[in-house]
Each structure stands twice: as C-alpha cells, then as structure tokens.
Amino acid sequence: MSRLIAVSNRVADSSNGKTAGGLAVGLLAALRKQGGVWFGWGGRTCHGEPTDPTVIRRGKVSYATIDIDEVEFENYYNGYSNGCLWPLCHYMLNFFHYERCFGRAYVRVNALFARKLRPLLQVDDVIWAHDYHLIPLAGELRKAEVENPIGFFLHVPFPNIDVLRTLPGHRLILEMLTRYDVIGFQTTSDVRSFIEGLSRVGFLESRLGHDRFRACGREFTAAAFPIGIDVPGVIQMSERAVGSATVKRMRDGLVSRDLITGVDRLDYSKGLPERFRAFEELLASYPDTRGRLVFMQIAPPTRGGVRAYQDIRAELERLSGNINGRFAEPDWVPIRYLNRGFSRSILMGIFRAARIGLVTPLRDGMNLVAKEFVAAQDPDDPGALILSSLAGAAEELDAAVIVNPYDIEGVAEAIQRAANMRLAERQERHRSMMGQLRLNDIGAWTDRFLGALEAVRQQECRGGSITDA
C-alpha cells in the first residue's frame, strides 16, 4: 500500500495524539491505517528562511512541521487566506480585503511548503493537500518535478464565479486547482461552481466522464466527497460523558428545563448574532418558552488579532447581556454565552443532554457539529436538530428542521416547533439522519477520496488515461 502524505496549513499536536475533530480526525484515521507523513506548519514563526522540517514519528505516522517567517505568515494566513479567500468562499464580501502583498506571500509560502516537503517524498507516495491555504501547492510541486498523484480537498464552500471574480488574479486560483489529479469538494453544488468557473473563464476543454474533466492541458477528477464523522466514536464518547461530573452539574443547573445548544468557532460566518436575535424573537413571540428553555452558546475565540473577530465577540456579549436583562427571572437566565473552549468529550456530553441543537451558519462547507449532535443523541429520546439550509450538511441531513439563518422569525418558529416536537417524530428524524451518517462516515470519506487517488496512480503505472479504466 502506498504511503499517504497529508499536507495542511496546521499539523495536529503529535504529543498526545488527541484532536478536536474535523479535518484532524479524518487525517489521523487515514494515516494510522495506511502509514505516512502529516506535513505542515507547526505553529511557530521565525525570521528569514525556515530550517528543515522537524520530524516526530509516532507509530505509523510521522509528523513533519516547519516554521514560517513572521511577516510572510501574516500576509499569507491573515491576509490572503483569511482576509481574501475565507470571506469569498463564504459569500461575505463585506469582510473581503485584498492587497497585492497578500497574494505574493500566499504563493511564496506554498512554494516553501513544496520545497521543504520534496525531500521527504518517496516514489510511491500519494499526496493529499487540504483546504484553501494550499491551492497552489500542486503547481509548486510539479515545478519541482514531483510526479506523484496529488489530491486536494476543499473543506469550505467553493464560490460561484461571479463572487470569485471579486478576487484579483482569480483565474490563477482556478488554474492552480487543475494541477491536482483529484479535486474534492463537500457538495455537488461546489463541484458545479468550480466547473462553471473553469468554463466561464475559458479554461474548460472537455468533459471526459461523470467526474472527469480536461482543463489547462490536464485531466483530473472533480467530485463531491462529503466529509463524515466517527459515528461509533461519538456515540461511545457521548454515552460516557453524559454521566461526567461536569455534565451532571450542568443538567442539575437546568432544573428540568430543556437545553438548546450551539457550538461554533467565534466566526462571522457562523451566524451567531442572527441566532441570538432569533432566540430573543422566540422569547418575545412565544411567552410559554420563557422559563422553560435555556440557550447555551459555546463560542471559543479564534483569530483574536483580527478586528472582525473582536467586533463579533463584543456584539455577542452585548446581545446576550441585553436579552438576559430583558427576560431573565431570579431563578432563570435565558442565555448562557461561553466564550471559551471545552474538551471534545464534554461537548459530546452536552450534545446528548440537549433537547435542541441549533446549527445556523450563514454559509458552511459542511459543519460537522450538526453531524456530531445527531450521533450523540439517545435514540430512545433524541433531541431535534435545527440546521441552516446554507450548510453543506443540509444536503445529507434533510430530516433536520431546515431553516434560512437570515430569517430571524423563521428560526424562532423552528425553535418553537422543535421544542414541542413529539417523541415519535423526533425518533423518526433521528433514524433517518443516523442512516446518512453511517453511510457517509469518516471512513467512507477517506476511502472514497484515497481510492480516487489510488486509481490515478495505478492508471499512470499502466500508462493510460483513467477514463480508459
């Protein structure tokens, strides 16, 4: 079996093998099964050219990390990746900010990744790069005469070409993606946006099959590979954690009230102010919910040095304070806003204890919180999931209560509906969603993507086109 070389902007902490979920869970599962290297930034900056990678081996997995020059990192990460690409991919142009120095640093850091990765590669390796930080990586590796199969998975949405055109040099983004052999997206809508973009700028040369295309002189696969979760792991963790001292204290503090929970990074794409306003609308329009429901929003801080994230934190603190001041009673506080992180185990226990999961991003590639909430439920008495139609997870979890996150009154109505949903309906919705989660779990995600990459490698060994297979 070929070694897997996983490349991402950040490498998980290898000291204890623990991870918060999402990308890290999927990559570690694949790496431990197949063996290989996880390569990327180790979390430290330097001045000037970084040294060679620091490599730590744990079992079948080697963790190879590099430093990045401080100024380069600022322009590559906070500037281009999160100041340009992130808002574009999430259709939030009011947060878009471009400077030419950002784009130059973005290309240089990808060239650095390729330069430092090249000596670690073996001839039979397959390479899997992740997310919007590393779009140019395949092109830089091809310049270094790397002929290994290279795949790319985009964890965020891919924008329509009319949005992408906002970015100076957007044609280069499209062209660089064609340097990969397999390009994976979360949803079929993302695939359509990508192919339409290639067509609109004149890069698309031909369609070779269902998922096969030719553009910019290269053939590649572009398909949806919706990321999943470790379903048995979440179930087991939630069953254990719901009995933990922390979760027991939380449940005792509810005094038999029903818990609504939201867990999101503190990010403007998550729709948190809109969510708070919807809960306020619920309390105002449905007085019977007062004293009956408690909304706990967990929002760990992220990118604290960026003004937009400082602003949203201040806004949430103001909103929660106003709502509590307006509706709280001596024995009941409607909103518990926690601006800190908790262990994955505790979160699974909170999910299992909740009556309603509120997942209402304004735009999201997938949103694994929605999937984890469903998997964490007690199947005999499951909670209800309220899910944004603008999250990729809505394509699979259509048995959730689907809402438009911009419709404040609509979200309030959905919470009221979920709070009064009969047991039989909750059970039927839960069974339907669990079927989807088991079908497209984390193992299926890695197997499908790596299977597509392996097909490229085997076909190249035979000297033919993959469309001949």
String of DSSP letters for 301-335: --STTSHHHHHHHHHHHHHHHHHHHHH-BTTB-SE
Distance CA 337, CA 327 (A): 15
Catalytic one of 133, 364, 430, 441:
364
Amino acid at 419: A
End-to-end alpha carbon distance in the chain: 20
Q: Residues 177, 188, 2, 33: what is their CA dihedral angle, to the nearest 10 degrees?
A: 130
Does 258 participate in catalysis according to the annotation? no
Distance CA 246, CA 239 (A): 14
Measured between alpha carbons, how far is residue 287 from residues 237, 357, 446, 451 in Å? 36, 21, 47, 54
Tell me if 194 sits within 8 A of 233, measured CB to CB: no
In our burial notation (b when 16+ CB lie closer than 10 A, e otherwise), range 42-57 reads beebeeeebeebeeee
- For residue 233, what are the contacts with CB-CB under 8 A and spacing of at least 6? none
Distance CA 353, CA 253 (A): 12
Distance CA 292, CA 356 (A): 13
Q: Directed axis angle between helix 408-419 and helix 272-285, to 10°? A: 60
**Count of residues making up the chain:** 469
DSSP assignment letter at 265: -
Distance CA 454, CA 413 (A): 48
Catalytic one of 130, 133, 155, 430:
155
Does 364 participate in catalysis according to the annotation? yes
The residues that are catalytic are 155, 364
